[in-house]
């Protein structure tokens, strides 16, 4: 599963190769409420076909109508603003009088889109500098904290994964988790020293490493844009890695398992001389409670909690798996069932 941005760029490259005229549309500024953030992209073909999104749909309709009626005639990038007046905001579906500013770039060989795709295939984080007057493009390495920048003459956009996700364990749940996380623009690594679990693993865009998980956590030096999730149910693999992760700056550290198993895990972690505050950072049982049973559903549950942490949203305890099941009829057995389902799926992977 490609991220939306990667899908947009691949469409641009394909259309150019097929001889179509097309434009790359990028959100560069927003005021008030806006359906899409700065940096969101859309590819527009001269027959009105689009991939991606820059609004709730109404601005796309306007861009499509212009392309179908007039074709694509721009010779240089242009800055366009929508939603300046309340009437326009209503017309273009911008809530609360919002305003959105777009950079519309006609594409050609000098846009160097295939080169950008090659860099992204190598898991690079890239800054793309577009000269607004000439349409000339250059590339340079980008840092994780770098964001879109625009001046009167240059638009700099950042492409590639800015967030890292380490998944410990190469079971079936890991496959679903990795697939969705790639679509969310994470740089995903699977770590599992067990050969029987790595056999047959072939997932484009995911790095598979075979060293001990704690060694890999130390080597990756988790920062505030890193997440680590342990999915093996094997304390020999999970516990030491979690110990290193909880001492790091990782914004999210989680572990699969029932409430009973996670309580035992916390007791074991105390033996490693972690502080109570560090142990409290552990999300376990991992995920939010949505009644998930299958690996696919559990992956969604985990990524929902991960996304909340990434966006700085403090979830109430009532939606977390452990608290949500308290007081439910048969809640103890249900927790075991959820854990057993995952165990069984991992064994069959």
Residues 171-189: tens digit of each pLDDT: 999 999 999 999 898 999 9
Residue 328's pLDDT is what? 60
The token pair that represents 213 in the structure block: 């998980």
Average pLDDT over residues 302-309: 96
- The pTM score is 0.77
Helices 172-183 + 331-348 axis angle, to 10: 90
Are 76 and 123 in contact by the 8 Å Cβ rule? The answer is no
Beta bridge partners of 153: none
Residues 17-47: tens digit of each pLDDT: 999 999 999 999 988 766 778 999 999 999 9
- Under DSSP, the state recorded for 97 is G
What's the first-to-final CA gap in the chain, in angstroms?
20
Report whether pLDDT(95) > 80.
Answer: no
Burial 96-106 (b: 16+ CB within 10 A, else e): ebbbbbbbbbb
Residue 340's pLDDT is what? 40
Compute the distance between CA of residue 38 and CA of residue 29 in angstroms, rounded to an integer.
Answer: 6
Report whether pLDDT(96) > 60.
Answer: no
Compute the distance between CA of residue 35 and CA of residue 92 in angstroms, rounded to an integer.
Answer: 11
Report whether pLDDT(48) > 60.
Answer: yes
Residue 89's pLDDT is what? 63
Compute the distance between CA of residue 173 and CA of residue 295 in angstroms, rounded to an integer.
Answer: 5
Compute the distance between CA of residue 306 and CA of residue 286 in angstroms, rounded to an integer.
Answer: 9
Report whether pLDDT(336) > 80.
Answer: no
Which helix (H) or strand (E) is 149 found in, with range?
strand 149-150
The better pLDDT of the pair 154, 337 is held by 154
Report whether pLDDT(330) > 70.
Answer: no
DSSP string spanning 15-77? HHHTT--EEEEEEEEEES--SS-TT-EEEEETTS-EEE-SSSSHHHHHHHHHHHHH----SS-
Beta bridge partners of 283: 254
Residue 347's pLDDT is what? 34
The token pair that represents 297 in the structure block: 């559903």
Compute the distance between CA of residue 88 and CA of residue 102 in angstroms, rounded to an integer.
Answer: 15
- Under DSSP, the state recorded for 111 is G
The token pair that represents 166 in the structure block: 């380490």
Q: What percent of the chain has pLDDT over 70?
A: 87
Residues 129-160: tens digit of each pLDDT: 999 999 999 999 998 888 999 999 999 999 98
Residues 237-284: tens digit of each pLDDT: 999 999 999 999 999 999 998 889 999 999 999 998 899 999 999 999
Compute the CA torsion angle 338, 233, 190, 317 (nearest 10 deg).
50
Residue 346's pLDDT is what? 36
Query: Mean pLDDT lowest for which of 78-92, 137-151, 223-237?
Result: 78-92
Q: Which residues make Cβ contacts (< 8 Å) with residue 13, sequence separation at least 6?
A: 113, 114, 117
Average pLDDT over residues 53-80: 90
Residue where the block lists tokens 């035992």 = 264
> How confident is residue 216, by pLDDT bands cut at 50, 70 and 90?
very high
Other beta carbons within 10 angstroms of residue 61's beta carbon come to: 14
Strands 99-106 and 22-31: antiparallel
Compute the distance between CA of residue 260 and CA of residue 321 in angstroms, rounded to an integer.
Answer: 12
Report whether pLDDT(321) > 90.
Answer: no
Q: Does domain 163-348 have CATH number 3.40.50.720?
A: yes
Compute the CA torsion angle 67, 73, 77, 78 (nearest 10 deg).
-70
Q: Sheet with 163-168: list strands edge to edge.
A: 207-209, 186-191, 163-168, 226-230, 252-255, 282-283
Compute the distance between CA of residue 134 and CA of residue 305 in angstroms, rounded to an integer.
Answer: 44
Mean pLDDT, rounded, of the chain: 87
User: Smallest Cα–Cα separation from 11: which of 24, 26, 28, 29?
Assistant: 24
Delimit the domains of the chain by residue range: 4-159, 163-348
Residue where the block lists tokens 């990028």 = 26
């Amino acid at each position: 599963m490609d991220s939306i941005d990667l899908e947009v760029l691949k469409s641009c490259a394909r259309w150019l190769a097929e001889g179509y005229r097309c434009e790359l549309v990028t959100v560069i500024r927003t005021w008030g409420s806006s359906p899409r953030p700065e940096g969101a992209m859309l590819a527009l073909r001269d027959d009105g076909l689009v991939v991606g999104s820059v609004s709730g749909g109404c601005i796309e309709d306007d861009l499509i109508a212009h392309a179908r009626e007039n074709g694509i005639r721009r010779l240089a990038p242009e800055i366009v603003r929508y939603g300046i007046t309340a009437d326009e905001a209503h017309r273009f579906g911008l809530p609360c009088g919002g305003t959105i500013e777009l950079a519309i770039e006609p594409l050609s060989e000098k846009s160097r889109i295939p080169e950008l795709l090659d860099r992204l295939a190598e898991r690079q984080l890239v800054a793309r500098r577009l000269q607004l007057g000439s349409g000339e493009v250059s590339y340079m390495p980008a840092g994780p904290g770098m964001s879109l920048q625009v001046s009167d003459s240059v638009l700099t956009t950042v492409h590639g994964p800015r967030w890292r996700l380490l998944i410990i364990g190469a079971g079936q749940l890991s496959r679903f988790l990795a697939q969705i996380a790639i679509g969310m623009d994470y740089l995903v690594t699977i770590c599992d020293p067990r050969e029987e679990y790595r056999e047959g693993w072939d997932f484009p865009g995911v790095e598979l490493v075979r060293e001990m998980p704690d060694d890999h956590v130390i080597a990756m030096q988790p920062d505030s844009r890193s997440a680590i999730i342990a999915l093996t149910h094997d304390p020999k693999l999970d516990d030491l890695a979690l110990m290193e992760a909880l001492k790091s700056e990782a914004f999210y550290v989680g572990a699969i398992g029932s409430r009973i198993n996670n309580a035992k895990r916390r007791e074991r972690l105390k033996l490693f001389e972690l502080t109570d505050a560090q142990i409290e950072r552990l999300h376990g049982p991992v995920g939010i409670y949505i009644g998930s049973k299958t690996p696919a559903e559990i992956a969604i549950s985990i990524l929902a909690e991960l996304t909340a942490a990434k966006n700085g949203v403090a979830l109430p305890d009532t939606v977390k798996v452990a608290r949500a099941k308290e007081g439910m009829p048969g809640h103890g057995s249900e927790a075991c069932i959820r854990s057993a389902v995952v165990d069984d799926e991992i064994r069959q992977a």
